[in-house]
Structure 1
Amino acid sequence: MFQRLSISIRHNAHIIFLCICWYFISSLASQVTKQVLTVCPLPLFLGEFQFIYTAMLAWCSCFIAYKYQKFYHIFPKGTFPEYYGNAGDSNRMMRKPSKLSSLIISPSRPILQTVLPLGLFQFVGKYFGHTATSLVPVSTVASIKTLSPMFILLLQKLLKISTLKVTLTLTFSLCTLVFGVWIIVQEDNRLPASSSDLRDFSNYGIICAVISMFIFVLQNIYGKTVFTFRSQKDGAQTNSGSSREDSPLPIYEKSNERPAMQNVPKSYDKLTLMIYISLVGFCLSFCWFITLEFPILFKYFLGTDNSVTVIQSFPVSLLLLNGTFHFIQAMITFHLLGEVSTLTYSIANLMKRFAIIAVSWVFIGRRITWLQILGLVLNTLGLFLYERCTSQSKTKIKFRPE
């Protein structure tokens, strides 16, 4: 058994390393976001910066992938536009004839129709998420986000979408999850003072965290129609013999090929989607930023307002670090999506939340109580049981006789 375990670890060493990097960078990114919003509590401005900075880094990544084939092949197919193709009958890859100015797919009506809802979800979700982070501890925001399975089930029931069958195990897992989150939130938000104003301030942060989580649940449900891999042939099998229909990777269609079925909607490479979603999110939030937060920045930089300002300092280095961390997270996510199954990725993503919660407790420097540990254990148990219910449901559907 130990020998098989050792072989499995060696075989998946790069996946383990990527997950560790993912958890570490995500935890640091959350702490940097908290620091930025502490000294400069402008959630719309931070969202605007992340949108435009992410689009810029994505375009630079496309440029590197276009110039260097080795970088292009690090990521799974569908991450970048298809810059390379087979040279005739040989297996050698050659760069396709294209202009450097067209590194991504040109904007069109179908692309805008695809990314407009996602850009809206990103704008609203980021605003409430950043607002929550500025008001309550990072661990509180991260723990509330782990309630997403419960909201997904509720929305699927309301929208009459096929979902998990409600069983005793599923009900127990959701109750355990809610109870664990409740303990973490209560412990994180114990105030040293008994000021009702401060308590209302903290409660507003919790409400914003719940709204942000709800918005991203809607995004995930809608995003399945955009980011889900669709084989051009029903029941297509991969080289390993397993169906890829449930894979979160998008289909990547060659420009000179037509889909086998006309009713199959076209999907686009992930970097193209990232750039357009970021630009749409930037445009949607621009008017709100100009109206609500730009006057505050204007007065701060010009020093025209002698009254006390909410901005303590303007953290340029932290903003750049924050944007870079968020982009690296996305690139690691793209790589993992092409390397592991949907279920494995889902579990790894949930474990990332626990890493963020644990690291945030360490950064706070406050003594960790046994109730916090109990809440984290209950949270872990609830998510584990939920994933078991999900995997068993998929297994029954897969082997159900026709």
Structure 2
Amino acid sequence: MSVSTTYNTTTKRRNSVHKNLYDQSLFQIPATQKRPDYEIRHYGLDSRNSALQKIQENCIAAKEVLLGYMSKDIQDHLPDVDFKMSLLCLMWYVVSSISSNMSKSILRKFMHPVALTELQFLISAILCLFFASIVNFYQKPMLKKNSIGQMFSNFPDGILPTYLNGDFQTSIIDTFLKPTQFILATVFPLGLFQFIGHITSHKAATLIPISLVHSVKALSPIVTVGYYALIQKKKYNIYTYSTLSFLIFGVMITCWSTHRNSRKSNNERNGLSMLFGLLSAFISMLIFVTQNIFAKEMFAVKHIDHNSILTPTTASREKRLDKITILFYCSCVGFLFTLFPFLTGELIKDKSGFQDLSLHILGLVVIHGIMHFFQAMIAFQLLGMLTSVNYSIANIMKRIVVISVALCWESHVNAGQIIGLLFTLVGLYGYDKFAMTKPKKNKTMMV
């Protein structure tokens, strides 16, 4: 009787606040709740996006605080700043500074500009193929939604091929590595420009100081404006010519001041060698301007009509090439153009490049190739976002940063170089503020 009473009492109390001590579930450790897979996949991406958004909000808030301390007149004369464009240009300047100074260091120990150009084209083609394969791998359905796949999906239009679907055979072997007639017809002139431009630039760097090479290349905006004014009959106002002259004058002062400091150590250099170096730098500048004008329409990103009957694959392949494909086939064409002078010049002569190519120099060449790859990708992106003249101005600013880094690394800065840099910066500001003939929305078009 007592046993039954105890059982009934326990049974009645199971739904009350009192617990049944004979219930085994009370003594089991509760299992942890598993988070859904989609929350795990997107947690890292959401945290990164929130962090980037917070940084952007902080930058805007800091800008508002700084503008609050300035008068209305000063605010009207301040240039419009595009943070994304500025960050992209800053990355371009840093990578270009490393690449340019490393190129000069390599050519001092490895005086084979043709061999360096050939290795540069080879490394660039390998990096393009490797990058396209990595992007294609993360286009698989199971990997497309993770953080790396989402990062590739957020790339601006026109950089990556649109036909990558995760299948290596279909996307890479059958499509990326099989050029069409349209690809060959488009890339062949660019590959020729790359071949002549690299050879002449490296040759000039071995004969004359790097500052003098950049001073000759600084004439590119004037040549660009002259082409559009004389050939295309495009009208520019008087401020365009005056600010460009001001800008080029500052660059020339900086470069010639640097050259004056190095003349004492270069007395043994004969006039013929100096003349040939200047001619090589001038040809390299003309090639740069020609390639800039030729590639402008091809690299400019336009809106894709989603109502078109063409598929994205057909439209991208037939109307506009992506930058990875362009860079890959430009490197391949440049490699083939450089192959004949490389074999005849490096294998026939007594002291070939293979004898001077040590492991240390090979490592520098690989790092230089990687830097050049990133530099080319950023340059292609900027070329599609800016006009030809504006891109030339951005390239002038990049050259100033390269010269400044070289001066701080190798020698002391004199008053003439500082004055030249100030003149150039004033010229850049004047061109950006007063010499624009197009609306501002075209100046900072984002991809």
Fold shared by both chains (TM-score > 0.5): yes
Q: Report deviation, 1:326.
A: 0.5
TM-score, normalised to structure 2, is 0.68
SS at match of 2:111: coil
Which amino acid letter does the alignment assign opposite residue 208 of structure 2?
V
Which amino acid letter does the alignment assign opposite residue 327 of structure 1?
F
Q: Report deviation, 1:99.
A: 4.5
Partner residue in 2 for 1:140: 212
The separation in 1 between residues aligned to 2:121 and 2:419, in whole angstroms, is 37
Q: Is the 8 A contact 1:58 1:274 kept in 2?
A: yes
Q: Report deviation, 1:204.
A: 3.0
Q: Per-residue CA shift, 1:75-131, capped at 9, x if unaligned?
A: 21221111468xxxxxxxx98993442362631222111011111111111111111
The separation in 2 between residues aligned to 1:174 and 1:333, in whole angstroms, is 21
Which amino acid letter does the alignment assign opposite residue 313 of structure 2?
S
Partner residue in 2 for 1:326: 372
Partner residue in 2 for 1:31: 101
The separation in 2 between residues aligned to 1:151 and 1:201, in whole angstroms, is 25
Partner residue in 1 for 2:340: 287
Q: Which moved more, 1:107-116 or 1:134-143?
A: 134-143
SS at match of 1:384: helix
The separation in 2 between residues aligned to 1:273 and 1:297, in whole angstroms, is 37
Residues 33 and 232 of structure 1: is their aligned pair in 2 closer, same or farther, counting only changes over 3 Å? same
Match of 2:313 among 238, 242, 255: 255
Larger radius of gyration: 2
Q: Is the 8 A contact 2:228 2:234 kept in 1?
A: yes
Q: Is the 8 A contact 1:64 1:71 kept in 2?
A: no
Q: Report deviation, 1:14.
A: 6.5
Which amino acid letter does the alignment assign opposite residue 70 of structure 1?
Q
Residues 121 and 389 of structure 1: is their aligned pair in 2 closer, same or farther, counting only changes over 3 Å? farther
SS at match of 1:76: coil
Partner residue in 2 for 1:112: 184
Partner residue in 1 for 2:202: 130
Which amino acid letter does the alignment assign opposite residue 406 of structure 2?
S
Q: Is the 8 A contact 1:45 1:293 kept in 2?
A: yes
Q: Is the 8 A contact 1:40 1:313 kept in 2?
A: no
Which stretches in structure 2 are left out of the alignment for 5+ residues?
Answer: 1-58, 68-80, 139-148, 443-447
Q: Per-residue CA shift, 1:292-320, capped at 9, x if unaligned?
A: 23334864657xxxxxxxx5967111111
Matched, 1:370 2:415: yes
| 1:86-235 aligned within 5 A | 98-102=170-174, 104=176, 106-158=178-230, 160-165=231-236, 167-190=237-260, 191-192=263-264, 195=267, 197-231=269-303
Which amino acid letter does the alignment assign opposite residue 255 of structure 1?
T
Larger RCO, structure (CA 8 Å, separation 6 or more)? 1
Residues 256 and 207 of structure 1: is their aligned pair in 2 closer, same or farther, counting only changes over 3 Å? closer
Q: Give the aligned CA root-mean-square deviation in angstroms.
A: 3.7
Q: Per-residue CA shift, 1:378-402, capped at 9, x if unaligned?
A: 2233333334455x3112998xxxx
Partner residue in 2 for 1:80: 160
Higher helix proportion, which one? 2
Q: Per-residue CA shift, 1:24-77, capped at 9, x if unaligned?
A: 221111111001111112111111111111011001000111112234224212
Q: Per-residue CA shift, 1:160-209, capped at 9, x if unaligned?
A: 214342x3322322322332233233222221168474454334323322
The separation in 2 between residues aligned to 1:8 and 1:110, in whole angstroms, is 51
Partner residue in 2 for 1:386: 431
Q: Per-residue CA shift, 1:247-278, capped at 9, x if unaligned?
A: xxxxx97135599xxxxx72111111111111
Which stretches in structure 1 are left out of the alignment for 5+ residues?
Answer: 86-93, 237-251, 260-264, 303-310
Q: Is the 8 A contact 1:181 1:375 kept in 2?
A: yes
Number of residue pairs the alignment of both structures matches: 354
Residues 183 and 204 of structure 1: is their aligned pair in 2 closer, same or farther, counting only changes over 3 Å? farther
Partner residue in 2 for 1:5: 63
Q: Is the 8 A contact 1:32 1:322 kept in 2?
A: yes
Matched, 1:317 2:370: no
Q: Report deviation, 1:132.
A: 1.5
SS at match of 1:255: helix
Which amino acid letter does the alignment assign opposite residue 375 of structure 1?
G
Q: Is the 8 A contact 2:110 2:353 kept in 1?
A: no
Q: Is the 8 A contact 2:218 2:248 kept in 1?
A: no
SS at match of 1:161: coil
Q: Is the 8 A contact 1:347 1:387 kept in 2?
A: no
The separation in 2 between residues aligned to 1:177 and 1:341, in whole angstroms, is 19
Identity of aligned residues (%): 32
Residues 287 and 15 of structure 1: is their aligned pair in 2 closer, same or farther, counting only changes over 3 Å? same
Residues 180 and 388 of structure 1: is their aligned pair in 2 closer, same or farther, counting only changes over 3 Å? same
The separation in 1 between residues aligned to 2:186 and 2:268, in whole angstroms, is 45
Which amino acid letter does the alignment assign opposite residue 439 of structure 2?
T
